[in-house]
Amino acid sequence: MNKHVLSVLVENQPGVLSRVSGLFSRRGYNIDSFTAGGTEDERLSRLTIVLNGDYQALDQIKKQLNKLIDVVKITELKPEEAVYRELALVKVTADESTRASILEVVDIFRGKVIDVASEHLTVEMTGDQEKVLAFIDMMKSYGIKEIVRTGMTALGRWSN
């Protein structure tokens, strides 16, 4: 199974996310990550869909997506042709004895502390998936209270 990243431009209409995700569930395809957001054109939204499958399944998914009336354009974003990023917010246990060492790790990973409390820190980590996972792995020894991740978002390197 190969990991595929699709960038799907859709019309910014009510129900479009439901129609796209419904297409996947009706056909039994699993979505690893799904992000959606506005674009430079307020009439359009960009969906970044990450999935695992062979090329035959990918081809079938693209064909089915193209049948949806709200879909404007589908692009497969290959690693060498795109920039991938993910955002994670990590709430980690931090007391007086561990706070300094946690801050050192955050600095090494170029993260950002966005909330400080007496018993924990909340850190914003942005980067490729490997960086985010490595940071989370480092924080496990301190005690992670909560994590939320956006899933991958991506943009092609070329100009259209």
Q: For residue 147, what is the domain's CATH number?
A: 3.30.70.1150
Q: Are residues 65 and 90 in the same domain?
A: no
d(CA 81, CA 52): 18
Range of the domain at 94: 83-156
User: CA 59 from chain center: how many Å?
Assistant: 22
pLDDT at 158: 72
Model pLDDT for residues 20-51, shown as the tens digit of each residue:
989 888 888 889 999 999 999 999 999 999 99
Q: Tell me how many domains the chain contains.
A: 2
The domain boundary residue, chosen from 76, 95, 125: 76
The backbone torsions φ and ψ at residue 28, rounded to the nearest 5 degrees and listed phi first, read: 75, 20
Quick one: which of 19, 115, 2 has its CA closest to 53? 2
Tell the burial category of 86 from Cβ atoms under 10 Å away from its Cβ (0-12, 13-18, 19+): buried
Q: Are residues 87 and 149 in the same domain?
A: yes
Model pLDDT for residues 45-93, shown as the tens digit of each residue:
999 999 988 888 889 999 999 999 999 999 999 989 999 999 999 999 9
DSSP 98-113: THHHHHHHHHHTT-EE
Q: In what order do the strands lie in the sheet with 44-53?
A: 33-38, 44-53, 2-11, 71-76
Find the largest Cα–Cα distance for the chain.
Answer: 58
Model pLDDT for residues 117-154, shown as the tens digit of each residue:
999 999 999 999 999 999 999 999 999 999 999 999 99
Q: Are residues 9 and 64 in the same domain?
A: yes
Residue 68 sits in a domain whose CATH number is 3.30.70.260
The answer to whether 123 and 99 are in contact (CB under 8 A) is no
pLDDT at 160: 52
User: Does the pLDDT value for residue 107 go beyond 90?
Assistant: yes
Confidence of residue 159 (pLDDT cuts 50, 70, 90): low
The model carries a pTM of 0.84
